[in-house]
Structure 1
Amino acid sequence: MNIFILEDDHHQQQHLKTIVKKISQEISVNEFKINLFDSTDQLRLGLPIASKENIFILDLEINGIKTAGLEISKLIRQHDELASIIFITVHDEFVYTTYKYRVSALDFIAKDQGNIYEEMKKDLTHIQKEIQTASTEELFTYKSYYQEVHIPFRNICYFEANHTNTHSAIMYTTDNQEIQLNYNLRTLAKNERCFFRSHRSYLLNPQQVKGVDFLHHQAIFYNGLRCPVSRRHEKELFKLIRP
């Protein structure tokens, strides 16, 4: 695990470091590295290569700026679609509901309620299991800027042709991200045989399809997303997803 802690209060920063080290020993994390930052500028310069093992623990308010943690988390998510983001701050239900889903944050831990250790242990245990699962499952690989990114096939809902650029496609994931790829549907369909061509403009993952809406000619995914299915492919898709 590569853990990045952003906290401008030195005492709180060291407290979080101690908690993370203790939990890492308890859940038997073989390799982990803790990186400490007290400003968003420092963290911005220290962003790592995208990885499932990257964990960002961010205080929302840094150096008096109440939204600093949110702003840097947006940059993190643009740079790294696989990382886990955990917010640490004082309890505020409105802030929780507003921020958590903007950047697909894993958790929002209130540091004024005395449960940081318990909540952090749940989160790191969950992440460790996800990493272990990812190491044994098939991955979809694509290039993002100058690096390769790996994402489990099970985390992909579908691909849509990019009508503004015929050489690219848009990938929709189970956590509602939209990622532009430098591949068109024809290339994806040729190289990735596990996906189903439901429509001339769509390529979907049958494993994530919950059902077929024959009335509206759509595939319904477990996370609530929908995408078109041509009439001549509906029955074939339905057979694929039946238990």
Structure 2
Amino acid sequence: MIQIFICEDNEQQRELVKGYVANYIMIEDLDMEISLATADPNEVLSFVNSEDYLGEGLFFLDVDLNAEITGIVLGSQIRKADRQATIVYITTHSEMTYLTFVYKVEALDYIFKDDIAGLQKRIIECINIVQEKAMNEFSSKRPKLNQKYGDKVISVYYDEIMFIESSSNMHKLIMHCENRQIEFYGKLKDFEELHESFYRCHNSYIVNKDNVVEVDKKNKSIHLSNGETCYASVRLVKGLLN
């Protein structure tokens, strides 16, 4: 989840920005939340340095906060605490933007309050950039199976694999994925230790434990998150439950 922070001393302006952000998150059903909307920069810093901060947050900051520190200094402190944070300035002081380079804030955008028509559009654009970055990072970190088996090259994320079973076709296996099945030449024993989530639950099945939603011990059936079912042996179902 991406945490969003708004620091603006003008209550009317703060509520306006908060409304734009909250409405877009709700409409697009994004995995984001407004964790803090405040006039006090020290509240923001306290949160960023607490255990409640998840990292890589999105910050909408005013430049002139009428406080002991400016939005520029606040951005600099946030950057020191989290190099991956995304900082956006919403301001009337265009002449002060050069200070972000002096303080090495590396802001994503500078949105000017005077541009009423473009304010909402620019806020949404910043949210979309952060969302796309998060999705790309998630995809790049997902472990993926890329290997040639017999006559096929298998390329699939491990978390999409439900189970692998012996095929009725000699020397072949069927890999049941989230939305497809792949038949290829191979041996089940080659998959037993290929990934930590794989478990040999039967002579004919290897199941991905991460995608199990229910184990019917009586019928030795295993129900997967995509609605499919595979089976366990009497001997191996206990190990699966453990």
TM-score after normalising by structure 2? 0.51
Determine the structure 2 residue equivalent to 1:10: 11
Query: Match for 2:138 among 115, 135, 138?
Result: 135
Change (3 A) 1:4 1:31: closer
CA contact (8 A) 2:7 2:44 kept: yes
Query: Match for 2:55 among 29, 44, 51?
Result: 51
Determine the structure 2 residue equivalent to 1:146: none
Residue identity over aligned pairs, in percent, reads: 21
Q: How does 1:16-95 map to 2 (within 5 A)?
A: 16-47=17-48, 49=53, 51-52=55-56, 54-63=57-66, 68-92=70-94, 94-95=95-96
Q: Amino acid of the residue matched to residue 15 of structure 1? A: L
Q: How does 1:222-241 map to 2 (within 5 A)?
A: none
Shift of 1:91: 4.9
Tell me, in whole angstroms, the C-alpha distance in 2 between the residues paired with 1:72 and 1:87: 11
Change (3 A) 1:85 1:70: same
Structure 1 spans left out of the alignment, 5+ residues: 140-243
Determine the structure 1 residue equivalent to 2:126: 123
Q: Amino acid of the residue matched to residue 17 of structure 1? A: K
Change (3 A) 1:104 1:136: same
Change (3 A) 1:100 1:34: farther
CA contact (8 A) 2:4 2:35 kept: yes
Shift of 1:26: 3.4
Shift of 1:24: 1.4
Structure 2 spans left out of the alignment, 5+ residues: 143-242
Shift of 1:109: 0.4
Q: How does 1:153-232 map to 2 (within 5 A)?
A: none
CA displacement, residues 104-131 of structure 1 (integer Å, 9 cap, x when unaligned): 1111100111121000111101110000
Tell me, in whole angstroms, the C-alpha distance in 2 between the residues paired with 1:119 and 1:72: 21
Q: Amino acid of the residue matched to residue 112 of structure 1? A: D
2:89 alignment partner, SS class: strand
Q: Amino acid of the residue matched to residue 23 of structure 2? A: K
Tell me, in whole angstroms, the C-alpha distance in 2 between the residues paired with 1:28 and 1:62: 31
Tell me, in whole angstroms, the C-alpha distance in 1 between the residues paired with 2:32 and 2:60: 18
Shift of 1:46: 1.6
TM-score after normalising by structure 1? 0.51
Tell me, in whole angstroms, the C-alpha distance in 1 between the residues paired with 2:62 and 2:16: 13
Tell me, in whole angstroms, the C-alpha distance in 2 between the residues paired with 1:44 and 1:30: 23
CA contact (8 A) 2:58 2:86 kept: yes
Aligned length: 136
CA displacement, residues 183-233 of structure 1 (integer Å, 9 cap, x when unaligned): xxxxxxxxxxxxxxxxxxxxxxxxxxxxxxxxxxxxxxxxxxxxxxxxxxx
